[in-house]
Amino acid sequence: KVDVCAKDIADQILAGDLDMKMMFIKTDVHPQTSDEAGINWVVFADTLNFSFWQPEDGPQYTVTYKGTKQTGYLALCAAINRTLDSGIPLTSPEYFSNVDKETLDKLLMGDEGVSIPLLQQRIECLHEVGGKLLKNYGGKFTNLLEESNNSAVKLLDLVLQNFVCFRDSASFKEKEVAIHKRAQILVADLWCLFEGTGKGSFPDIASLTMFADYRVPQSLQFYGVLNYDEELLSFLRKDEIMPYGHVFEVEIRGCSIHAVELITKKIREILQEKNNTSAVNSILVDQYLWGYRRKHAEEMVKYPYHKVRSIYY
C-alpha cells in the first residue's frame, strides 16, 4: 500500500493539483518575514508544539481569533498572535523566560475558558529555552542559527545539545531510538520561514525525517500503509492514555518514520520516470499527510490514534 499512497501523491503533483513546496508555505497564522521577530515566533511556537488533544467527550482547546476558530496547534498559533497584537512581547526570550503560570494560562486561554493542556510543562519548557538563550546566546536564537552554518543537521544537533526539552528518544528492545519530533519541526519551520533561502536554505534539509506524532499515523492507516494488529487495536479502543516510551508507541512512531521514507522514495521514482523535477522530501510528505488527516477528519475517526501525554508531541 506504500505504492498506492505514493501514486496518489505523485499523480496530484503530475496533474498540477499539488505543489509539494506549497505544503509548507506560510499560512495566515504564521509569521511572514524571516526577521528576528519571525524567528522568535517560530522558536516560541515549537517550544510549545505538543499535546493539544482532549478527550472527545470533553471540552476542546480551540481559539477563535479574528472570526476564525482554530483547533490543535493552530489554536496555539492564534493565541500567540492575539497576545502579540495586544502589545505583549510573548515570543521574546527575555519575556517568556520569566513568564509565570497564571499569566501564560490567561494569554493562551482557549474558547469558553478551556486552558491549554499541560500548562505546567509548557512553563517549564519556556523557562528552559528562554534561560538557555539568555545565558548562552545573548537572548537571540539568531546567534544559535548562525552557529549552524546553514546546515539543518547541525542546527538540529545544536537544538538538542542546548535544550533538554527537545530531546525525544526512547528505549526499544534495549536500543536507544532517537525520534526528535519537535526539534526537527523547529528546523523545518525555520526552513519554511526563510522559504529555503539565505541563512535558512539548509541544503541538507532532506536529511530530516517526518515528524512522528499521533495524527499522521491515522492517514497512514487510511491509505493502508500501516495496519494495526488486534492486540494494538484492542489497546487503543480502550481509549486509555499510553505511557510515553511504551513499546506500542515507539513501534507506531518508528514505523511511521520508515513508512514516510518509503513513500517519499517511491514518489521520487515515479516523478523521475516522468521527468518531473518537483522537490519532494519527507517533511513535505509529512505535511501532506498531516493536512490530509485534518481535511478528512470525519472519515479518520474510525482509525484510532495513540493518546500520549508528553512534551515531545
Active-site annotation, residues = 213
In the three-class reduction of DSSP (H, G, I as helix; E, B as strand; rest coil), residue 67 is classed as: coil
- pLDDT at position 24 over 90: no
- pLDDT at position 206 over 80: yes
| Amino acid at the residue 16 | G
- Report residue 25's pLDDT band, with 50, 70 and 90 as the boundaries: low
- Report residue 26's pLDDT band, with 50, 70 and 90 as the boundaries: low
- pLDDT at position 23 over 70: no
Average confidence score pLDDT of the chain: 94
Q: Which of 141-150, 284-293, 302-311 has the highest mean pLDDT?
A: 141-150
The predicted-structure confidence for 49-68, as pLDDT tens digits, reads as follows 999 988 888 999 999 999 99
Q: What percentage of the chain carries pLDDT values higher than 90?
A: 88
**pLDDT on residue 239:** 86
In the three-class reduction of DSSP (H, G, I as helix; E, B as strand; rest coil), residue 55 is classed as: coil
More confident: 22 or 163: 163
List Cβ neighbours of 291 (8 Å cut-off, separation of 6 or more): 23
The predicted-structure confidence for 222-261, as pLDDT tens digits, reads as follows 999 999 999 999 999 998 999 999 999 999 999 999 999 9
User: How many other C-beta atoms can be found within 10 angstroms of the C-beta atom of residue 46?
Assistant: 22
Q: DSSP assignment of 86-123, as one string? A: TT--TT-HHHHTT--HHHHHHHT--GGGPPPSSHHHHH
Residue 62 CA to residue 71 CA, distance in Å, equals 5
- pLDDT at position 308 over 80: yes
Residue 109 CA to residue 81 CA, distance in Å, equals 12
Cell numbers placing 55? 478527550
**pLDDT on residue 27:** 75
Mean pLDDT throughout 22-51?
A: 89
- pLDDT at position 3 over 70: yes
- pLDDT at position 134 over 80: yes
The predicted-structure confidence for 149-173, as pLDDT tens digits, reads as follows 999 999 999 999 999 999 999 999 9
Q: Which of 46-60, 118-132, 297-311 has the highest mean pLDDT?
A: 118-132
